[in-house]
Amino acid sequence: MSEDIDRLADELLAAWDGGRTVPLLSARPEGLDTGRAYAIAEALRKRRIARGERPVGWKIGFTNRRIWPLYGVYQPMWAPVWDTTTGLLAGTDCTLSLAGLCQPRIEPEVAFGLKLPPRAGMTLAELQGCIDWVAHAFEIVHTHFDGWKFTAPDTAADFALHGRLRVGPRVPVADWPTLAADLAGLEVDLACDGQVRDRGRGEVVLDGPLQALKEMVEAMARDTPHWRIAAGDVVSTGTITDAQPLAPGQVWQSTLSEPRLAGLTLRTTA
């Protein structure tokens, strides 16, 4: 079992480093269940730390119920984000190279910065008390499986599809008593080169981004108790629209209905 996990982790890390696809794990004779998937993810986490990368938080994916039937994945998954993949923007405009990314797509999300470690069983109000700031973010997701075809365990093993994370201006939440409801009602337009590609509302993300964070805390305690969200972590809560394919030379812009959160502009290069 251990040798098999190590072999698959080595294969996926080589795919990450080479920006290439690999055969679907769940389609192999030994198959893939959730437990083995997170064992592979833990092996990958250890390998990345050993080579000098530093985890700076977490992402939760497939929280958007609207896209579940599009991908055939009907449950969230999660994984670390890294100092090598995550950037806190000084403003609202950034340029991103797509080099090294495999079939990349863009997702507009809500991200939180934690000041205290959350725990399972907290109410939304208690959970908000653990949060320092909230921000709009772009996550660039990618997959090492051809054509974006996979099962839920495949995505958990494949870095939870995380590629890059760019976090916009951070807004303190201490004086935002209606945070949960306001983020659930957040409307987002995602445009490429001036044309709107998709629209979404925060409530599609497990009823709202703060609710999605709560679900992540509960699910991690249940399924990956060796992983914990810590003070200082950044947590991205899942896409509010469908993920849109990226190509070099594009300009992507988000427009948000919540005036306290800034929209972002991302320019892609090769």
The predicted pLDDT at position 136 comes to 98
- Residue-wise pLDDT for 76-99, tens only, equals 999 999 999 999 999 999 999 999
Please name the amino acid found at residue 139: E
Question: Alpha-carbon distance 160 to 61, whole Å?
Answer: 7
Please name the amino acid found at residue 126: E
Other Cβ atoms closer than 10 A to 29: 4
The predicted pLDDT at position 3 comes to 78
Tokens in use for 143?
């997959």
Structural fold of domain 2-269: Fumarylacetoacetate hydrolase; domain 2 (3.90.850)
| Residue indicated by tokens 């405009």 | 93
What pTM, to 2 d.p., does this model score?
A: 0.97
The predicted pLDDT at position 4 comes to 94
Q: How far is CA 173 from CA 139, 163, 177, 260, in A?
A: 21, 27, 8, 11
- Residue-wise pLDDT for 206-264, tens only, equals 999 999 999 999 999 999 999 999 999 999 999 999 999 999 999 999 999 999 999 99
The predicted pLDDT at position 83 comes to 98
Number of continuous H segments (helices) and E segments (strands) in the chain: 7, 14
The predicted pLDDT at position 167 comes to 98
Please name the amino acid found at residue 143: T
Which has the closest alpha carbon to 17: 57, 38, 40, 48? 48
The predicted pLDDT at position 2 comes to 75
Degrees, nearest 5: CA angle 8-14-19: 125
Q: Above pLDDT 90, what percent of the chain?
A: 99
Please name the amino acid found at residue 266: L
pLDDT at 270 exceeding the cut of 70: yes
pLDDT at 64 exceeding the cut of 80: yes
Tell me the three state secondary structure of residue 209. helix
Which has the closest alpha carbon to 98: 69, 64, 58, 138? 138
Chain mean pLDDT for the chain: 97
H helices present in 51-94, as ranges? 68-71
208 and 180 in contact (C-beta within 8 Å)? yes
The half-sphere exposure of 151 on its side-chain side, counting CA atoms within 13 A, is 12
pLDDT at 1 exceeding the cut of 70: no
Q: Rounded mean pLDDT of 33-39?
A: 97
How sure is the predictor about 32, in pLDDT bands with cuts at 50, 70 and 90? very high
**Which residue ranges make up each domain of the chain?**
2-269
